Structure 1
Amino acid sequence: MTSIFDQYEQASQVSQRSVPASEQMTSSGYINMQLNDNTPMFSKQKMNFNPSDLITHVAVSSDFLVLAMANGKLFRLDLKMPDQHEEIQYTKFVQPNTKLTSIFLDPLGYHLLMAFTARNKDGNPELVYLHRKSSKLKTVTKSRNYEVTEVGWNYDNRSTVTTGPILLGTSQGHILETELEADSDKMFTASQQYWRQIFDIGKGTDTPITGIQFHRVSNTSKYFIFVTTPTRLYQFIGHAMITDDKPSLQSIFYSYLTTPETGFQEIPSTLKYSKLQFYFDKTNTPKTFAWLTEPGIFYGQLDPTSQQNSNSLFTQSELINYPSDDANSKETTPISFVLTEFHAVLMYSDRVKAVSLLNQDLVYEDKYSEVHGKLKNIVKDPIRRTIWAVTGNAVFRYKVSREERNVWRIYSDKEQFDLAKQYCQNNPAFIDIINVKQAELLFGKGDYDRSAEIYAETQSSFETVCLKFLEVEQVNALKVYLGKRLDALEDDKTLISMIVIWMTELYLSQLGTLRRKGNADAQEYHQIQSDFEVFLLQPKVVKCMQHIKSVVYDLMSSHGDKQNLIKLTVINEDYENVVAQNIYKKSYTEALNMLMSLKKSDLFYQFAPALMEEMPKQTANALIDQGPLLSPSKLLPAFLSCENDKAHVTEIIRYLEFMLQNFNVKDRAIHNYLLTLYVEHDHLALMRYLVRQGQELSMVNYDVHYALRLCREKGLSEACVKLSALLGLWESAAELALDVDVALAKGLADLPDDPALQRRLWLGIAEHVITKNQDIKEAMSLLEECPLIKIEDILPFFSDVVTINHFREPICQSLQEYNNQIEELKAEMEDATKSAEYVRNAIQSFRNRSVLVSVGDACCLCDIALLLRPFYLFPCAHRFHSDCLLAEMAPILAPARRNKLTDLQRQLAVLSNIELSTVTSTGLPLREVLKNEIDDIVASECVFCGEHMIACIDKPFIADEDWDRVMKEWE
């Protein structure tokens, strides 16, 4: 049950609430959020320790607590095991006329030093060492002449046996370096590795050292040492000599022995004491320091790695005033204090106060009851970071809960907004308040662009912020704000569209104003234009433009900004709009140039009619430049709309001829259209075209019937002749050609491949020529030009008045030719007669031919004696058994002959002897007839010398399926 005194103690603890932020939450879009944490920042708990006497001194480190009591005993307790404590009588280890002044515990909690001072002039000061695992105190013998007032522990030491190099400060101002070791062999004295005086702060005068700490700069041999006296704070910086991984701190002071004292901070004070405290971050690196003096606490940041000032480690140092005391309190200066990250916890004789290091406000006050006695000291565990306050009768532990909770507000009030955001735990309401305040401050200072960037991160009213910048005519800042808001939007299509349109209007207005002032070449104009182009290329803007492009196009048109309109259409791939607008404004050249630069075939097809109508030559040139990118057939509507004018037709023909000659266009519609233009406007070009197309009907690319009809309508006889001939209408073509020119008809007559047709055509020509003027010479020239017609063919065409004498020479020539033909026929008949006689003689000799077969001859297929079975003997001397030859020939016979052979063999096997002996119409028995037919099939040729062997010349000797068998045989 809590005692009445504890209840009084709890009631006496007062946590000061920080003043709420001056910003109204209406400036933020967040509502119903609690900004203040009601959990006490500092809370005290009385520990259930029972020391045997009044407490005089305390030391805590690494959860190990040591109390010195008035009865000359030490109270030691491992806080992890609070039920097990130990008391050691220390007075029997020291001289009777000494008094305990201080106890010092190393960061590991293993090495304890107790400093004693002489009660009178006859005594000597002492320094006693006690190890955590021992209950026997040992005297540091070399300390007899020094009254130790402070110990600078080695925070890099990890040994529980030795202290490592440490520094001792004395009441005379001496700085000593030593290293103590827990040596169990020595009963009453501590083992000292070395002992040396390395510096004298007082320069011969008694200047007590009230604080001393040294630390190494990470990953270097550089050390810095802080030493305090009642009125001065000294800094020593230098590189230590490292031996066996231990520093020699004496070397740091070498440079200070011969230089004037300049590396100190002096604050006047009438106090006989001062306190030095450090705050370490999570990596145990000193971050801040505080020095308690009579006027206040000298506080500053530490930056050991800074190269700006090698003589000082202070940054952002300031003097923090003590909070005003009650009227009844006589104490104005704390007795002791400890340092946290953001507060200094001050200890007076009857109370504890916590002061903010950032704004010097009092945030906590705890009054102590006289029942517990006066406060003796307040200490902080450097490793566990727990805070302990000790009175004469009790030990209290302070718990610090989220001391950074109001830091963001303090930094915000001090206009350190980056730090404020760092300490607001990502609370969106706090961040919004900070941003609003920062934005308003920047706005008030005239830094509008930066203010706009911060405003865009707040939840402030969109309309309100825009009006703020419009009222001061800060268009650039407004664009910055709108751009940032646009980047933050995701799915609000309406607001995105509004911002895009507004920003476009702002850019266009700025550019238009500069153009009207004649500043289109100024740097400002180019910068705005560049920013505008970057804005248009943003993915979100490009996507939005697909829905609002008509509005934006109208905006640009109203500003007369044709250049940006074209660029925007290129970005949106909406080229149709700008080309149509140029044509509407009769800017045909610009429209054509854009089409050429874009190389969009669909747009060419769409706008070619208008451009071809207005500027045919330039348009034709552009079409020619596009080459195969455009399909001529899709341009036909454009050509048909303007073919009445000679200039237009000329350019159309030029383009079509270019495509046909260079890209071999075979589209029938194009060829028919070009042919139509030729028929209408250029007959010579028509004939050249027909000649190029050739006389092969399947190879021409135009419709011949359509072309013939056009030419007939226009009376183009020569073209009609060529087209009729192409269609195979030779007679009609010849008749038409004779009406035009006899030479044309003669050329036509030589074209057919059929000699009979050529002869008919030439006869038609002859009839036309002869009946027209009865010119014998011309008729004779026809006979010379065409050998297919003779004099007798043309004689009927002459009139009766023409006598035979006029044709004496042609008739004689014709008779001579007939005579020559008769002689050739006679010679051929004689040759045939001789050949027939030769064949008859050969047959007769063959009948009398015989071949001798010996007993030793063998079948060429089975290599068995030939006379054993019926056989076939060929003139080439190859011999085969009939059954062997039958088996060899059967697979190679044609299916029909193979079937017939099978049928003949079946008849021989099935029919009876009587039936086989029946005489057939040929006068031979049926058996002989069947055998003769079988012989004709099987023995028609030698299987080795006949045509079959020649046909099988490319057949492998060994079939694929026999390879394995043959390979095994060869093995």
Structure 2
Amino acid sequence: PAMDYQQQEQQHQQQLEVAAGQLLRIQRIEAFQPPLPITHLLAASGRLLMAFPSNYLHCIDTRRSDNKALQRLDLAKSGGSDDRLHSLFFDPTGTHIIASMQSGCVLYACWSNNRHNQDAGIAIKPIAKLKNQLVDSVAWCPSGEDGIAYSGKGASGTGPILVGTADGHIYELALFADAGGTGGGSGGGGMRHAMGLLGGDDKKADQYCHQLFSLGKSVTGLQLGVIQSADVADSSRNKKRRYFLLASTPVHLYEFKGKLAITADGSSAHYAPLFAKALSEAGGPPFKSHPPDLGRSCLKLLRTSPKGADYTVAWLSGLGCYCGFLDHGLPNFCTDKCILLPYENKQVPITAESLNYHVVLLYTDRLAVHSLLNGLAVSRVDAQDRCQLTYRGMAFDSSARLLWAFTEVGVYKVDIGDERSLAWRIYLQLGQHEQALQCCPSQAERSQVYALLAEKFFANGKFVDSANLFSKSDRPFEHTALKFLSAPNGDVDGLKILLKCRLNADLSSASGAGGGDAVLLIWLTELYLKKLGAWRDSGRQGSQDYALESEEFRRFLAKPQLRPLLERLRHVIYQLMQSHADSENLVYLACLLNDQDSIVLFYLENEDYTEALKTIDRHPRCPVLHVRHAQLLLSQVPEKTVDSWISLGNKLDPRLLLPALLTAPRDQALRYLEYAVNTLRSEYKPLHNLLLHIYAESYPGRLVTYIETASAKASLAADRHQQSVSLPFDANTRWICASEAT
């Protein structure tokens, strides 16, 4: 038997807990033993970038297993041996690196050149225009369809990027690795041409730099995204889109929106329009404030759909982790629907990463996972190195959907399970059923959603909604049908929906359902007829409810896919309708099936001879039916019957009507016989004999007129002796007949 709603809820909760425990799977990379303690680790496009105290950078291609997987870069050659790394940035393609040194020197390198030769020298260039700055955040230029058409963007250049510094300034600049390279950006033109346009020096990485805005405090996070715009008048791909920028300080979160100013040579800042509104406001841009400054802050953004504008965000602030889904349709901030996760025991995480439906918080001894849907903790993974050192940081490779955590002496790969297997269950708990269905990774999960929601609706008396959902689940049909048979107050609407859905499914299947489809059709017909009959018995056949139910029944019968089944079962359905005295729907069905014979029989059985006659006149085999029912119709509606016969003309053979004419009223029989003799020129002797009999008995005055007709002469000539002797005429009349025949 099917479980009730409470049992379904308990099972659902148990499954949720199991799915939560399988969300993250952590594994130490034993093959890599760092030569020195790791200070920084970043991940992008299958590459890991690690920094060590000696200012060495190691880049590991996790997709390769040979000795070419490891590449080294020495920052000490450019930053000085005594300098130390302040911050490190790796672009999403795993190509461009920005290293900010504590001395204020900012360096740039590109891994793409000579990437398969670990011994080849890779140029490290200073970013001169950022001299004496400490870079705390970088927003890379969008790529793919959302990228900016700019000649320097590609393997040898970053394109326009945004940089946030420790003193609160936001800069825009473009970086190039090799003046002699070939620019791969969508704007084309080549890198050498781009360098020529800018008049750049190939010893420096930066070719232009614009200060766009100042937040007053360290810019701990910059995240750039695209807003899809439906109101597009410009055909240029860069001008048709609007962008947004999220910028954070330790206690404030800012939001900027606008289109970009596209220039080929960087003479004006591409991102300047994003800050135009903020610069024009007297009080500065609006912001969300989450004090106090805890000395640790980061801002992470993840695009959850490759070509859409769906993003999740996570911001470590003074009050907690502010995370959730962005909604650009909100009037104030796109982050207004985000939730605030207070820190556990006032312990501030080292960093955070936003996933599609969850946020991962890294503490020194564990990874904690919270749902972005309700903020509740769903999973926890404790550190495996309790006897060694604790976690130092974490990076997320969005292209590979992998998290990487590290301690000073080890690197850990964190596999992320299917978030949807957890998200749809939480959506269901929150009552957001459409979102739950969208998150279900397979039909089996969707079936569970349908079944659980159907049970809930049934318990609340919403039987129609419940039936619709049960029909989409894998719940056994027999159990569900029995459940609806016991519905309170004798409600059958839900059962009808259930039967319809099952019938449609059976008719749509390639193999069919054997005799099950016939049973379902008869069952549905009985439900409709029973309900209509109850309303007629209570005198409500004129009500709107009756009309609506009857119309629904007829729409059901008129479905094209039911036509073959109705043809096969029409006599059973007719009998069922007759047992419920539903003549209107019986006639409707017979007309729908073009079953005129059954309509005629129905009218005759109900002594509605006029309608029967009208139906016969419309029938394609009208003459055949007139002959078949001639005697009955001529006895009940003689005048209308003869009118109909005469209207058919020579399509109707008078000889076949003779048996009915023998017993018909004399006046109507005489009317058709005269029409057959005088108009149709029939020479059939029995017809003439009958006409003579009628004349002799009732209309002797018409005899002379009759025998003057050509057809009468032919009939009399055929057997003049019999005609003159056997007919009940007087002697004078017999002499006239004989003379005419001679």
Give the alignment's TM-score, normalised by structure 2.
Answer: 0.80
Deviation at 1:38, TM superposition (A): 10
Could you tell me which of 433, 437, 443 is aligned with 1:417? Answer: 433
Q: 2:318 matched to 1:298?
A: no
Could you tell me which of 242, 245, 255 is aligned with 2:277? Answer: 255
Deviation at 1:100, TM superposition (A): 1.7
Which amino acid in the other structure matches residue 159 of structure 1? Answer: G
Change (3 A) 1:310 1:447: same
Q: 2:81 matched to 1:71?
A: no
Which amino acid in the other structure matches residue 244 of structure 1? Answer: A
Distance across 1 between alignment mates of 2:256 and 2:168: 15
Q: 2:302 is paired with a residue of what secondary structure? A: strand
Distance across 2 between alignment mates of 1:412 and 1:182: 51
Change (3 A) 1:88 1:619: closer
Residue 297 of structure 2 is matched in structure 1 by 274
Q: 2:482 matched to 1:464?
A: yes
Give matches, 1:758-777, under 5 Å.
none
Distance across 1 between alignment mates of 2:718 and 2:684: 16
Deviation at 1:254, TM superposition (A): 1.0
Residue 257 of structure 2 is matched in structure 1 by 237
Give matches, 1:384-463, under 5 Å.
384-428=400-444, 430-458=445-473, 459-460=475-476, 461-463=479-481
What does the per-residue CA deviation read over 1:747-772, in whole Å, with 9 as the maximum and x for residues that have no partner? xxxxxxxxxxxxxxxxxxxxxxxxxx
Could you tell me which of 108, 126, 137 is aligned with 1:129? Answer: 108
Q: 1:165 is paired with a residue of what secondary structure? A: strand
Distance across 2 between alignment mates of 1:296 and 1:240: 33
Deviation at 1:184, TM superposition (A): 6.1
Residue 391 of structure 2 is matched in structure 1 by 375
Change (3 A) 1:191 1:70: closer
Which amino acid in the other structure matches residue 224 of structure 2? Answer: F
Residue 108 of structure 1 is matched in structure 2 by 93
Change (3 A) 1:468 1:271: farther
Residue 710 of structure 1 is matched in structure 2 by 723
Kindly indicate which of the two structures has a greater share of residues assigned to helix: 1
Deviation at 1:169, TM superposition (A): 0.8
Distance across 2 between alignment mates of 1:126 and 1:38: 45
Distance across 1 between alignment mates of 2:716 and 2:430: 93
Give matches, 1:480-491, under 5 Å.
480-490=497-507, 491=512
Change (3 A) 1:594 1:25: farther
- Aligned partners of 1:263 and 1:311 also within 8 Å: no
- Aligned partners of 2:278 and 2:285 also within 8 Å: no
Distance across 2 between alignment mates of 1:312 and 1:586: 77
Which amino acid in the other structure matches residue 300 of structure 1? Answer: G
- Aligned partners of 1:222 and 1:239 also within 8 Å: yes
Q: 2:86 is paired with a residue of what secondary structure? A: strand
Deviation at 1:54, TM superposition (A): 1.3
Q: 1:241 is paired with a residue of what secondary structure? A: coil
Deviation at 1:574, TM superposition (A): 4.6
Deviation at 1:40, TM superposition (A): 7.2
Residue 666 of structure 2 is matched in structure 1 by 649
Which amino acid in the other structure matches residue 162 of structure 1? Answer: G
Which amino acid in the other structure matches residue 453 of structure 1? Answer: N
- Aligned partners of 2:368 and 2:377 also within 8 Å: no
Q: Which structure's CA Rg is the greater one?
A: 1
Deviation at 1:612, TM superposition (A): 1.6
Q: In the comparison of the two structures, how many residue pairs are matched?
A: 672
Q: 2:225 matched to 1:212?
A: no
Higher deviation after alignment, 37-46 or 251-260: 37-46
Distance across 2 between alignment mates of 1:244 and 1:542: 67
Residue 224 of structure 1 is matched in structure 2 by 244
- Aligned partners of 1:290 and 1:297 also within 8 Å: no
Q: 1:60 is paired with a residue of what secondary structure? A: strand
Deviation at 1:516, TM superposition (A): 5.1
Give matches, 1:491-890, under 5 Å.
491-492=512-513, 494-515=515-536, 518-539=539-560, 541-546=562-567, 548-577=569-598, 579-580=600-601, 582-598=603-619, 600-640=622-662, 642-643=663-664, 648-663=665-680, 665=682, 670-671=687-688, 673-693=690-710, 700=714, 702=715, 704-706=717-719, 708-714=721-727, 715=729, 733=742
Which amino acid in the other structure matches residue 161 of structure 2? Answer: I
Distance across 1 between alignment mates of 2:248 and 2:213: 14
- Aligned partners of 2:99 and 2:107 also within 8 Å: yes
What does the per-residue CA deviation read over 1:363-411, in whole Å, with 9 as the maximum and x for residues that have no partner? 3414131565332211122444332222212222223343433443333
Distance across 2 between alignment mates of 1:266 and 1:210: 14
Distance across 1 between alignment mates of 2:653 and 2:361: 93
Which amino acid in the other structure matches residue 198 of structure 1? Answer: L
What does the per-residue CA deviation read over 1:914-968, in whole Å, with 9 as the maximum and x for residues that have no partner? xxxxxxxxxxxxxxxxxxxxxxxxxxxxxxxxxxxxxxxxxxxxxxxxxxxxxxx
What does the per-residue CA deviation read over 1:497-533, in whole Å, with 9 as the maximum and x for residues that have no partner? 4443443343334434444555444433322221122
Deviation at 1:241, TM superposition (A): 1.0
Change (3 A) 1:602 1:540: farther
Deviation at 1:492, TM superposition (A): 4.2
Q: Which structure 2 residue ranges, 5 or more long, are not aligned?
A: 13-17, 114-120, 148-152, 181-199, 229-236
Q: 1:114 is paired with a residue of what secondary structure? A: strand
Distance across 2 between alignment mates of 1:310 and 1:485: 46
Residue 182 of structure 1 is matched in structure 2 by 177
Deviation at 1:175, TM superposition (A): 1.1
Q: 2:162 matched to 1:172?
A: no
Deviation at 1:249, TM superposition (A): 0.3
Residue 138 of structure 2 is matched in structure 1 by 151
Which amino acid in the other structure matches residue 483 of structure 1? Answer: K
Distance across 1 between alignment mates of 2:655 and 2:265: 92
Distance across 2 between alignment mates of 1:230 and 1:597: 87
Change (3 A) 1:544 1:703: farther
Distance across 1 between alignment mates of 2:721 and 2:295: 131
Change (3 A) 1:457 1:706: farther
Residue 493 of structure 2 is matched in structure 1 by 476
Q: 1:337 is paired with a residue of what secondary structure? A: strand
Percent pairwise identity: 26
Q: 2:290 matched to 1:287?
A: no
Change (3 A) 1:184 1:164: closer
Residue 186 of structure 2 is matched in structure 1 by none
Which amino acid in the other structure matches residue 322 of structure 2? Answer: F
- Aligned partners of 1:279 and 1:286 also within 8 Å: no
Q: 1:504 is paired with a residue of what secondary structure? A: helix
What does the per-residue CA deviation read over 1:617-650, in whole Å, with 9 as the maximum and x for residues that have no partner? 232223334445533333222222x14xxxx122
Distance across 1 between alignment mates of 2:705 and 2:517: 65
Q: Which has the higher contact order (CA 8 A, sep 6+)?
A: 2
Q: 1:243 is paired with a residue of what secondary structure? A: coil
Deviation at 1:357, TM superposition (A): 3.4
Q: 2:87 is paired with a residue of what secondary structure? A: strand
Distance across 2 between alignment mates of 1:706 and 1:23: 97
Residue 378 of structure 2 is matched in structure 1 by 362
Change (3 A) 1:291 1:422: closer
Give the alignment's TM-score, normalised by structure 1.
Answer: 0.62
Could you tell me which of 348, 352, 355 is aligned with 1:337? Answer: 352
Distance across 2 between alignment mates of 1:686 and 1:269: 126
Distance across 1 between alignment mates of 2:697 and 2:595: 40
Change (3 A) 1:254 1:584: closer
Residue 194 of structure 1 is matched in structure 2 by 208
Q: 2:29 matched to 1:46?
A: yes
Distance across 2 between alignment mates of 1:254 and 1:36: 47
Change (3 A) 1:104 1:634: same
Change (3 A) 1:347 1:658: same
Which amino acid in the other structure matches residue 222 of structure 2? Answer: I
- Aligned partners of 2:42 and 2:90 also within 8 Å: yes
- Aligned partners of 1:623 and 1:630 also within 8 Å: yes
Distance across 1 between alignment mates of 2:711 and 2:673: 19
Deviation at 1:450, TM superposition (A): 2.1
Distance across 2 between alignment mates of 1:187 and 1:493: 82
Change (3 A) 1:706 1:510: farther
Q: CA RMSD in A?
A: 3.7
Q: 1:149 is paired with a residue of what secondary structure? A: strand
